[in-house]
Amino acid sequence: MTPKTMKAVQIQEYNQPYHVSEVPVPRPKPHQVLVRIKAAGFCHTDLMALNGEFNTKLPFIGSHEPAGIIEEVGSNVMDFHRGDRVGCINFDSVCGKCADCQSGLPIYCDDPLMKGITVDGAWAEYMVADARFVVKLPDDMEFKVAAPLMCAGISIYGGIQRADVQKGGSIGIIGIGGLGHIGTQIAKCMGYTVAAVDIKQKALEAVASYEHSPDALILATDTVEESLLKIDQMASSKYRGLDATVLATDHPSAFELAAALTRKHGTMVLLGQPEKGITMSYHSVIYKDIRLVGSLVADTAAAQELVSIFHQNKLHVDIKEWKMEDAEKMRQSYLSGQGMGKNVVIM
């Protein structure tokens, strides 16, 4: 029997430490399922929510990267059942009325509610989720592996898709952190020649050790010419540089570097959210005819595709596990910049 109350990691004041509270267990509406959360990830966007950048009504529960088991099913839900193992992408609801909702692009809804960002999220023992944004997990996929796929995974997967590079082409993943270390593996499994780019040698060595490792490792402090020589050796093209670069970092200097490594008539996909905006030389973009594309996350169907790709190819997520009571310690560890991969709270 579902309890009436549960433990949750709340944001009670902006810019203040996380707080573990006792709160009511939510009840599912007809279009929702109640998920018993087993694991929930930590993302850079969680910091933005904590800082009040989304004007979220206080208090609220953090995290938009959940995985768990369905406990209850709303009366209108047909495709899920109690006991199903699931992950949930970060949409609590969409308006259903705007042009994108009407065109089958609800992830670009004009007025969405977002788990852990504008409404209660997944750092709790239970969470309600709109069944339209729920994906099924394989029986043998660990929840702590599935949780990071629900934002980090689908963000980088969506970015790779948006690059629109033909199979066999070349893609650079700029920033080998929580998103990037997943992205290098996904891009390899999708048939691309892959360059991993990061300022930390340790991050490059980590992805080089995976079964689906990148074809080139590029240290961000190397000269552009040195980096282009490495790209020339891995990719065959009439143009110098990568067919596309996917920016999975917020570091301001990464955008100019990505432009320098992207070939003429190539594509840059922007996932990073630098605080002061994007800065690049007009020469890099205009004279090379580089196409700039923004990317948010993948939709539900693509999220289900990603789970299959990940499971079939036995891809790796670098995970550091935390208890709910250590959420603030986790945040401080992230802010120190020393960690790699994904931080995940285990329930």
Same domain? For 76 and 195 the reply is no
Cα–Cα nearest to 44, from 290, 233, 249: 249
- CATH code of the domain containing 35: 3.90.180.10
Residue 260 lies in a domain: yes
Are 214 and 280 contained in the same domain?
yes
pLDDT digits (tens, 9 = 90+) for 89-118: 999 999 999 999 999 999 999 999 999 999
* Domains: count for the chain: 2
- pLDDT tens digits for range 29-69: 999 999 999 999 999 899 999 999 999 999 999 999 999 99
- Which residues are CB-contacts of 136 (< 8 A; sequence separation ≥ 6)? 80, 84, 85, 86, 304, 307
Tokens of 327: 């959420």
Residue 276 banded pLDDT, cuts 50, 70, 90:
confident
Report yes or no on 141 lying in a domain: no
Model confidence at 340: pLDDT above 80:
no
**3-state DSSP helix/strand/coil % of the chain, to nearest 5:** 30, 30, 40
- For residue 3, the model assigns a pLDDT of 95
**Residue 188 and residue 238 in one domain:** yes
> Does 166 share its domain with 248?
yes
Q: Are 345 and 330 in contact (CB under 8 A)?
A: yes
The mean pLDDT value for 175-190 works out to: 96
Helices (H) and strands (E) counted in the chain, each on its own, are 11, 18
Do 100 and 233 reside in the same domain of the chain?
no
User: How many C-beta atoms lie closer than 10 Å to residue 253's C-beta?
Assistant: 12
Query: Is 299 part of a structural domain of the chain?
Result: no
**Domain boundaries, position 341:** 5-136+317-346
Cis upstream peptide for 59 (omega within 30°): yes
**Does residue 308 fall inside a structural domain?**
no
Q: Which of 294, 309, 332 is the last residue of a domain?
A: 294
Q: How far is CA 274 from the centre of its chain?
A: 16
Q: At 221, which CATH number?
A: 3.40.50.720
Q: State pTM to two decimals.
A: 0.94
Asked whether residue 147 is domain-assigned, the answer is: no
Domain boundary residue, one of 279, 294, 309: 294
Is 64 found in the same domain as 91? yes
> Residue 80: is its pLDDT beyond 90?
yes
Task: Establish if 309 belongs to a structural domain.
Answer: no
Per-residue pLDDT at 278 = 83
In a domain, 160, yes or no: yes
Whether 20 and 105 map to the same domain: the answer is: yes
Looking at the structure, do residues 132 and 176 belong to the same domain, yes or no? no
125 and 12 within one domain: yes
The reply to whether 282 and 321 lie within a common domain is no
The pLDDT value recorded for residue 200 is: 94
Domain end, chosen from 294, 309, 326, is at 294
Is position 146 within any domain? no
Q: Which two tokens stand for residue 231?
A: 């790209």
- For residue 161, the SS3 value is helix
Q: Which distant-in-sequence residues (6+ apart) come within 8 Å of 243 by Cβ?
A: 163, 165, 166, 169, 170, 171, 235, 237, 262, 263, 266, 267
Is the predicted pLDDT of residue 124 greater than 90, yes or no?
yes
Same domain, residue pair 181 and 288: yes
The answer to whether residues 179 and 252 belong to one domain is yes
